[in-house]
Amino acid sequence: MDKVIRIGTRESQLALWQARQVNDLLTAQGYRTELVPIKSEGDIDLVTPLYEIGVQGIFTKSLDIALLNGRIDVAVHSFKDVPTQLPQSIVTAAILERGPVKDLLVYKTNTDFLDQPDYIANIATSSVRRKAQWLRKFPKHQLHNLRGNVNTRLQKLAAENWDGAIFAAAGLERINVRPATSIELDWMLPAPAQGAVVAVCREDDAYCLQACAPFNHAPTALSTQIEREFLRTLMGGCTTPISAYAYIQNDTVFFEGEICNLDGTSFYSASRQSAAGNAAGLGKDAAEEILAKGGAEIVAQIRNAK
C-alpha cells in the first residue's frame, strides 16, 4: 500500500466532509491518502440559475476531468449531482451508506404562513424540483433563486427579506449547521440519490477499485440504482422536476417516483414494491408507466422551454 490515493473534492465545507468520509474509510484499511481540492464550474458561477447553465454534471465535470487527466485517483460526489451516464472510462467505485434523504424548510421567524392560504410567502431555492413541488402545494407563493454552497445560502437567507428557503437535510446536518428554525418536509419527494455519496475512479485503476470495494453499501447501491434508472428512463437531469425515492424494509423494496411540470400544475407519479432480489428494472418500469400516462408531454414541454 505504498501508492498514495489522491482524493479529488470540491472546496465547499460539505464536499470536504464527504471526501473525508472516503479518506477515513481508506486510511482505516491502511491505505495512504491525500485530499486534492478542485474548483467546479458550479461553484464559480453563483449567479446564473442552474437551469440556465443547462449543464448536466456541472458539479462533477471538473473532478471528472482531473480524474481522466491523472491529477487525482478517486473523485467524491454527492450522488444526486452525478449524471446518469458517467463519462467514458469512469466507473463507480463505492456508494457510501445513505444519510438523511428529506428536504427541509429553514424559516425566518415561524411557519404560521404555511397555514395561511392568502399569504404570499417568499421562498428561496435553486432546485426546479423543489420549486415545482412547492408551487403545487402553495401556488400563490413567490419563489426566488438561491445558489451557492450551504453556508452561502444560509447567509443569503438571513440577509434577504424571505420567509424561508429549502435545503437538503443531509447537507445541513453533515456539517452541523442545521438551524433550530427548520422543519422536515415530509410531503416533498427527494431528488434521485439524495443523501448518498459516491466515489468514482478510472475504469482501468484496479488498485483504487479494490481499495474502495469494501465500503460499498449494497442497500444504498440498490436503492439509488433504482432511482437513477427511473431518472434516466425519463431522460431527466438537474433541470427537470423529477423526484424518486426507494428504500428497503424487511427485504422488500418500496419505490415512489414522479415528474412535475415547472410550475407544479401538472404531475404524474408511480409507485412500486418488489422483493429486493427481484428489483431489477423497477425504476425503468415505473418511469415507463409515467411516460405512458402523460409524463412524456411534460418532458417535451420542458425540453421546448429550454
pTM: 0.91
Chain-wide mean pLDDT for the chain?
91
Write the pLDDT tens digit of every residue in 84-97.
988 889 999 999 99
Mean pLDDT confidence for 207-217: 98
User: What positions carry a catalytic annotation?
Assistant: 81
Give the pLDDT of residue 62. 87
Q: For the segment 95-151, what is each residue's pLDDT rounded down to a tens digit?
A: 999 999 999 999 999 999 999 999 999 999 989 999 999 999 999 999 999 988 899
Please give the pLDDT value at position 43. 44
Average pLDDT, integer, range 58-62: 76
- Is 54 a residue whose pLDDT tops 90? no
pLDDT of residue 217: 98
Judge contact between 260 and 132, C-beta under 8 A. yes
Q: How does DSSP assign the chain, residue by residue?
A: --SEEEEEE-SSHHHHHHHHHHHHHHHHTT-EEEEEE---HHHH--SS-HHHH--TTTTTHHHHHHHHTTS-SEEEEEGGGS-SSPPTTEEEEEEPPP----EEEEESS-SGGGG-TT---EEE-S-HHHHHHHHHH-TT-EEE---S-HHHHHHHHHHSS-SEEEEEHHHHHHTT---SSEEE-TTSPPPTTTT-EEEEEETT-HHHHHHHGGG--HHHHHHHHHHHHHHHHTT--TTS-EEEEEEEETTEEEEEEEEE-TTSSSEEEEEEEEEGGG-TTHHHHHHHHHIIIIIHHHHHHHHHH-
Interval 17-36: pLDDT, tens: 999 999 999 999 999 999 99
Res. 2 pLDDT band, cuts 50 70 90: confident
